[in-house]
Structure 1
Amino acid sequence: MLYVIHAYDFTDEQALERRMAVRPNHFDGAKQLKSTGNFVLGGALLDPDGKMIGSMMVVDFEDETGLNQWLQNDPYVTGKVWEKIDVKPFRKADI
């Protein structure tokens, strides 16, 4: 099952610092997801000035249990980078 995730960063003064501090660990996790076939696509959401304000990912998990287990342990969650996370099932257009 594919899921699209829109995750928005906290907006306090230390938010970017927290993001950058755990970013290597987040990338390591994304690489692990890619190696197991769970990572489809992802990247940073930007404001009009190009500042990172969140993330977007498309992930593939067998069920919501696997999705939630990964998500609860992601460094951007445990490191208090993402304040609001919106997860929706996703269907890729076959065109």
Structure 2
Amino acid sequence: MSSSTSQNEWLVILPDKTDAEAVSRRLAVRPKHLEAANAKVAEGKINFGGIMLHEHIKEGETPKFKGSVMLLQVETKEEAIEIIKGDIYVDNDVWDLEKFRSALRKAL
């Protein structure tokens, strides 16, 4: 891991687009998204991340994705936004950035 000195953690909530093709776009680039996310984990910039679902995954069915959630460890909101905007889910119109939300937590 990186020797990051940031004491700021940004909880980032990224809803998915709701059009009929959003899930297909997500699934098409998911391996590349996960590869890049794991690299950010190794750099110490992502503490955790995962999908948000409308309901539990049912065997044999495509998950009903709602979006993503991440905890980023960077100093500024601008750095958090830079990471988000550099994600392949943005390039492939998966996340609805108009509905993006974040919250800051400083170390105690």
Q: TM-score, normalised by structure 2?
A: 0.77
The residue type paired with residue 33 of structure 2 is: H
**Structure 1 residue runs without a partner (length 5+):** none
CA shift, 1:3, in A, is 0.3
* Count, aligned residues: 93
The residue type paired with residue 78 of structure 1 is: D
Equivalent residue, structure 2, for 1:70: 83
Greater strand share, 1 or 2? 1
**Structure 2 residue runs without a partner (length 5+):** 1-7, 58-63
Equivalent residue, structure 1, for 2:24: 17
Equivalent residue, structure 1, for 2:100: 85
Equivalent residue, structure 1, for 2:67: 54
Which structure is larger by alpha-carbon Rg, 1 or 2?
A: 2
- After superposition, give the CA deviation of every residue in 1:61-91 in whole Å (9 maximum; x if it has no partner): 1222322221111111111101121112135
Task: Write the distance in 2 (CA, Å) between the matches of 1:59 and 1:75.
Answer: 17
Question: In the superposition, relative to structure 1, how do residues 38 and 11 fare at CA in structure 2: closer, same or farther (>3 Å)?
Answer: same
**DSSP 3-state at the match of 2:44:** coil
Task: Write the distance in 2 (CA, Å) between the matches of 1:49 and 1:12.
Answer: 20
Consecutive aligned runs of 4 or more in structure 1 exceeding 6 Å deviation: none
